[in-house]
Chains A and B, each alone.
Chain A
Amino acid sequence: MRDILAQPRPVLLGRLRWVLVVIIVIIAPFVMKELEHLTNFGLITQVNRALIFVALAQGLNIVVGLAGLLDLGYAAFFAIGAYTFGLLTWPTHDIEMSFFLAIWVCALVAALFGIIIGAPTLRLRGDYLAIVTLAFGEIIPSLVRNLGDFTFTYHGKEYIKDYNLTNGSQGLTPLGRPDFSFFERLFGLDHGALNVGVKPTFWYFAIVITSMIVLFAATRLNNSRLGRAWKAIREDETAADFMGVDPIRTKLAAFAIGASFSGLAGAVYASMLGAIFPELFRFQVSIFLLIIVVLSGRGSIWGVLIGGLIIATFDGVFLAQILPDIFNGKILPEYDVQSLRWVFFGSGLIIIMIFRPQGLFPPKSTERKAAPPPPAESTQGVQS
Chain B
Amino acid sequence: MTTLLEARGVSKAFGRLIAVDTLDYTIDNNSINSIIGPNGAGKTTFFNVVTGYYKPTTGKVLFNQHNISGSRPNQLTRIGIARTFQTIRLFNNLTSLENILIGMHHRLKASVFGDIFKPPPVRREEARAHEEAFQLLEYVGLKGYEEHTAKFLPYGHQRRLEIARALATQPKLLLLDEPTAGMNPNETQDMILFIRKLRDERDLSILLIEHDMKVVMTISDKVTVLDYGKKIAEGRPSEVQKDERVIEAYLGRRALEMLKK
Return the 9 tightest CB-CB contacts between A and B, nearest first: A373-B144, A224-B115, A244-B106, A244-B77, A235-B91, A239-B89, A376-B143, A241-B73, A232-B102
Complex alpha-carbon distance, A240 and B72, angstroms = 12
Is A244's CB under 8 angstroms from B91's CB? no
Interface check B85, CB cutoff 8 A: yes
Interface check A236, CB cutoff 8 A: yes
Contact with A along B96-138 (1 / 0, CB 8 A): 0010011101101010100111100000001000110010001
Interface check A242, CB cutoff 8 A: yes
Interface check A153, CB cutoff 8 A: no
Interface check A238, CB cutoff 8 A: yes
Can you name 7 extra interface pairs (CB under 8 A) apart from A220-B117, A221-B116, A224-B115? Answer: A2-B130, A4-B146, A226-B112, A229-B102, A235-B92, A239-B85, A239-B90
Which of A239, A245, A375 gathers the greatest number of chain B CB atoms within 10 Å? A239
Interface check B145, CB cutoff 8 A: yes
Interface residues of A (CB under 8 A from B): 1-2, 4-5, 216-217, 220-221, 224-229, 231-232, 235-236, 238-247, 253, 257, 365-369, 372-376, 379
Complex alpha-carbon distance, A239 and B74, angstroms = 10
Q: A379: which B residues are within 8 A, CB to CB?
A: 143-144
Q: A231: which B residues are within 8 A, CB to CB?
A: 91, 93-94, 98, 102
Q: A227: which B residues are within 8 A, CB to CB?
A: 115
Is B74's CB under 8 angstroms from A245's CB? yes
Q: Say which one of B147-155, B185-193, B207-215 lies at the interface with A.
A: B147-155
DSSP class of B's interface residues: helix, strand, loop or mixed? mixed
Counting residue pairs across A and B whose Cβ atoms lie within 8 Å, the total is 127
Which of B53, B83, B90, B93 gathers the greatest number of chain A CB atoms within 10 Å? B93
Cβ-defined partner of A4 (8 Å) among B82, B91, B147: B147
Is A376's CB under 8 angstroms from B138's CB? yes
Is B115's CB under 8 angstroms from A232's CB? no
Give the interface size class of chain B: 35 or more
A227-B115, A376-B143 given as contacts; is B149 within 8 A of A243 (CB)?
A: no
Residue of A nearest to B137 (CB): A376
Complex alpha-carbon distance, A240 and B103, angstroms = 8
Complex alpha-carbon distance, A134 and B108, angstroms = 35
Interface check B51, CB cutoff 8 A: yes
Q: A2: which B residues are within 8 A, CB to CB?
A: 130-131, 134
Within the complex, the shortest CB–CB distance from B127 to chain A, in Å, comes to 9
Within the complex, the shortest CB–CB distance from B181 to chain A, in Å, comes to 17
Q: B91: which A residues are within 8 A, CB to CB?
A: 231-232, 235-236, 239-240
Is A245's CB under 8 angstroms from B112's CB? no
Q: B141: which A residues are within 8 A, CB to CB?
A: 376
DSSP class of A's interface residues: helix, strand, loop or mixed? helix
Q: A236: which B residues are within 8 A, CB to CB?
A: 89-92
Interface check B22, CB cutoff 8 A: no
Is B101's CB under 8 angstroms from A228's CB? yes
Q: A1: which B residues are within 8 A, CB to CB?
A: 131, 134
Q: A240: which B residues are within 8 A, CB to CB?
A: 91, 102
A239-B85, A246-B74, A376-B141 given as contacts; is B93 within 8 A of A365 (CB)?
A: yes
A239-B85, A243-B77 given as contacts; is B143 within 8 A of A228 (CB)?
A: no
Is A242's CB under 8 angstroms from B51's CB? yes
Cβ-defined partner of B115 (8 Å) among A226, A235, A242: A226
Interface check B95, CB cutoff 8 A: yes
Interface check B165, CB cutoff 8 A: yes
Complex alpha-carbon distance, A103 and B191, angstroms = 57
Interface check B245, CB cutoff 8 A: no
Complex alpha-carbon distance, A232 and B141, angstroms = 23
Q: A368: which B residues are within 8 A, CB to CB?
A: 149, 152
Within the complex, the shortest CB–CB distance from A249 to chain B, in Å, comes to 9
Is B118's CB under 8 angstroms from A220's CB? yes
Interface check B169, CB cutoff 8 A: yes
Within the complex, the shortest CB–CB distance from B58 to chain A, in Å, comes to 24
Within the complex, the shortest CB–CB distance from B19 to chain A, in Å, comes to 18
Residue of B nearest to A218 (CB): B116
